[in-house]
Chain A
Amino acid sequence: GENVEQHPSTLSVQEGDSAVIKCTYSDSASNYFPWYKQELGKGPQLIIDIRSNVGEKKDQRIAVTLNKTAKHFSLHITETQPEDSAVYFCAAGASGNTPLVFGKGTRLSVIA
């Protein structure tokens, strides 16, 4: 089955700096790679996703890159703000209704 590794487990950045979180996956059949943000006491919320037919996707300060050959994908947050502080999860799965396999999460702290 799919196995997703996520690094780092914790990340502290100064406000305004960039943050990068990296994930690798094992199953070449996976073609859907979402990123979730979980704030304290809440459920994970989808912030961006990418499918295997593209290599990069951007939404304002957030971007995701995908390298299918190397089986890794990354989340990039630019101009970080204190409200970006949360736990971020990457996930991988096949399209459709196959359950996602999640990475173990990255706790991002943005220091004002």
Chain B
Amino acid sequence: DTAVSQTPKYLVTQMGNDKSIKCEQNLGHDTMYWYKQDSKKFLKIMFSYNNKELIINETVPNRFSPKSPDKAHLNLHINSLELGDSAVYFCASSQEVISFGPGTRLLVL
């Protein structure tokens, strides 16, 4: 299947831990994103990468560090997790139209 995939689907962890979310797209898109969806369903851009280069970095704590090893992958590493980081994180990619992954539900206890 051609799609945006991300792992894990669920992530439950303690405050202060470090965790990573992986994302891969096989659509051949040049641009990849991370969006955060809070408990009120509000979708907000975090990062945008084009051909492995960071294009957009919204006001996101520097505990969040994206890494793009190649055009098809954009991983998100989060250090020192806080309660407020609990949300659903969506990876997406685009050429003209943005396609979203299934989301990673992060719960910080």
Q: Do A and B bind each other?
A: yes
Describe B's contact surface by its main secondary structure. strand
> Contact: B96 with A87, CB < 8 Å?
no
Q: How far is the CA of A89 from the CA of B92 in the complex (A)?
A: 15
Could you write out 25 A-B pairs with CB less than 8 Å apart?
A36-B100, A41-B103, A42-B102, A43-B90, A43-B100, A43-B101, A43-B103, A44-B90, A46-B97, A46-B98, A46-B99, A49-B97, A87-B41, A95-B96, A96-B96, A97-B31, A97-B48, A99-B33, A99-B48, A99-B56, A101-B45, A102-B43, A105-B41, A105-B42, A107-B41
Count of chain A residues with a beta carbon within 8 Å of a chain B beta carbon: 22
Instruction: Collect the chain B residues with CB atoms within 8 Å of residue A99's CB.
Output: 33, 45, 48, 56
Interface residues of B in 68-105 (CB under 8 A from A): 90, 94-103
How many inter-chain contacts with C-beta < 8 Å in the A-B complex? 49
